[in-house]
Amino acid sequence: MTEQDIPARLVELLTAEQESLGAAWVEAVSRTLRGRISLAELDRELRELYAALVEGLRGGGLDWRGDAFGEVRALLAELSRTRARQGFTPTETATSVLAGKDVLAPSEDTSAGDVRAYLHLSKLIDALGLFTLEVYAKTREEIISAQAEQLMELSTPVVKLWEGVVAVPLVGTLDSARTQVVMEKLLQALVDTGSDQAIIDITGVPAVDTEVAQHLLKTVVAARLMGAECIISGIRPQIAQTIVALGIQFGDIVTKSSLADALKHALRRGDAAVVRPGGRA
Amino acid sequence: MSGLAPVPDAEHESVPIGSNDDVVRARQLVRALAQQCKLSLVDQTKLVTAASELARNTLVYGGGGVMRVGLVRRDGRVGVTAVFEDSGPGIPDVDQALTDGWTSGGGLGLGLSGARRLVDDFTLQTEVGGGTQVAVTKWAR
């Protein structure tokens, strides 16, 4: 058998026993996934893949990058993405593809020509397995960057504490990107709620270095330009000592140790209407 | 560069500093060691803040580099040493760089001078065109 005949022979082998080989593949994969995916779904996935693989071999030989394998690559990418999202491990994902090798593994009475054909198929499936893993890794990276973005949004809520008083509780590391989000949200909240007092609470910020301080100062200045006053609260003893040692000047910006103190100050300063239950404004 | 700063002897870890995420990672590593070394909460915060300043300097002014950090022992005391190294442009005027409020970039100009005040030992070696090495140590009381 020459090189050119190998794809044709493989198509022959794969189509002759399509039903039983497909079933064996599904069986092999379902063992590794231990019932975390329904058998019907797996069966559909792998049989589609099997059919596409046969078509690919028929049309494009062993070149998996070619046009004939477009369908195979699309199916594999789909499979890989679904697995990555569902939390399957890389091994489990790759095995779905690589298990295909066992199905056609030569036995003792396989002819030498068929063994060679098998070796080529084996190489092809390895390449497809790697392709699957690449898509898997890429999907995971997409998930991670999407989560980082969500986290950034999540971690900067602006809450209305009182009529005329909004607060931003900051948690975690404050870098330029975060500060930008905080500043935008805070300034927008000042407009939306018609507030003139803003409290920035840094209880959840582990370390205040010059960059964080600079970002805070800029936010305060921006709020002032809009006619609002800012109070920075949540300055813990160790943070206060560090700020002094660093030599950061907060100037005439009001700082408080707790959010409660800051709210009290804001209410007093902002002549906010404090309404007692049952009383009149 | 000649005359090496007190590099943490036994087990030390190095962190490459090439992005803002690395600054966060460097800070977390220093915090973990400071806790292990039983520094007080104030001293932990001071050391972590100093590390944060120096790591950012390494990134912004040194064009990236590496931090090596580890526990050190001297005269029966335990401390945490962090060494920041870059092969950037170096600092032409060290006295000026250590002056409060002076900056060659857009910062507050307190990072380097402030970091010196936050730690117990501070050594700075620099060479114009040959990079900068800053070593800081905080001893447990």
CB B48 within 8 A of CB B41: no
pLDDT (0 to 100) of residue B30: 94
**Cβ-based contacts of B31 with chain A (< 8 Å):** 206
Neighbours of B37 (CB within 10 A): 18
Residues of chain A below pLDDT 70? 1-2, 152-155, 271-281
- pLDDT on residue B11: 65
Contact B111 A175 (CB under 8 A): no
A213/B27 Cβ within 8 A: no
What's the CATH number where A217 sits? 3.30.750.24
Q: Are residues A16 and A136 in the same domain?
A: yes
For residue range B25-42, what is the model confidence (pLDDT) as tens digits?
899 899 999 999 999 999
For residue B4, is pLDDT > 70?
A: no
Distance of residue A154 Cα from the nearest chain B Cα, in angstroms: 19
Does A164 reside within a domain? yes
What does the alpha-carbon distance between residue B52 and residue B56 come to, in Å, rounded to a whole number?
6
Q: How many residues does chain A have?
A: 281
Both tokens assigned to A50: 């099997």
Touching check for A216 and chain B: CB below 8 Å? Answer: no
pLDDT digits (tens, 9 = 90+) for A99-125: 888 877 777 777 888 888 888 888 899
What's the distance, CA A13 to chain centroid?
Answer: 42
| DSSP tally for chain B: helices H, then strands E | 4, 5
Distance CA B102, CA A94 (A): 56
Q: What CATH number is attached to the domain comprising B118?
A: 3.30.565.10
Q: Domain check: are A87 and A116 in the same one?
A: yes
Distance separating alpha carbons of residues A185 and A204, to the nearest angstrom: 18
Domain containing B121 equals: 12-139
Asked if pLDDT for residue B86 goes beyond 50, the answer is: yes
Is the model's pTM score more than 0.90?
no
Q: Do A132 and A203 reside in the same domain of the chain?
A: no
pLDDT of residue B82: 95
DSSP letters, A34-58, are TTSS-HHHHHHHHHHHHHHHHHHHH
A114-123, B8-17, B41-50: which has the minimum mean pLDDT? B8-17
Which residue of chain A is at minimal alpha-carbon distance from B118? A245
Asked if the ipTM is above 0.95, the reply is no
The pLDDT value given to residue A231:
94
- End position of a domain, from candidates A114, A130, A149: A149
B111 contacts A210? CB cut-off 8 A: yes
Q: Which domain does A46 fall in, by range?
A: 5-149
The residues near A162 (Cβ < 8 Å, ≥ 6 apart) are A263, A266, A267, A272
Residues in chain B within 8 Å Cβ distance of A247: 100, 110, 113-114, 117
Exposure letters A150-168 (e unless 16+ CB within 10 A, then b): eebeebbebeebbbbbbbb
Picking from A251, A252, A171, the residue whose alpha carbon sits closest to that of residue A212 is: A171
Q: Is residue A281 part of a domain?
A: no
| Domain membership flag for residue B1 | no
- Of the candidates A121, A126, A200, which has an alpha carbon nearest to the alpha carbon of residue A159? A200
Give the end-to-end CA distance of chain A in Å, rounded to a whole number.
Answer: 97
Pick from A77-91, B87-101, B122-136 the range whose average pLDDT is largest. B122-136
By CB atoms closer than 10 A (0-12, 13-18, 19+), residue A83 is buried
The reply to whether A66 falls in a domain is: yes
String of DSSP letters for A63-107: -TTSGGGHHHHHHHHHHHHHHHHHT--HHHHHHHHHHHHHHT---
How many domains is chain A partitioned into structurally?
2
CB atoms A237 and B117 under 8 Å: no
Q: What is the pLDDT of residue B8?
A: 52
pLDDT value, residue A235? 92
pLDDT tens-digit map of B61-74 = 999 999 999 999 88
Q: Are residues A133 and A236 in the same domain?
A: no
Q: Are B136 and B54 in contact (CB under 8 A)?
A: yes
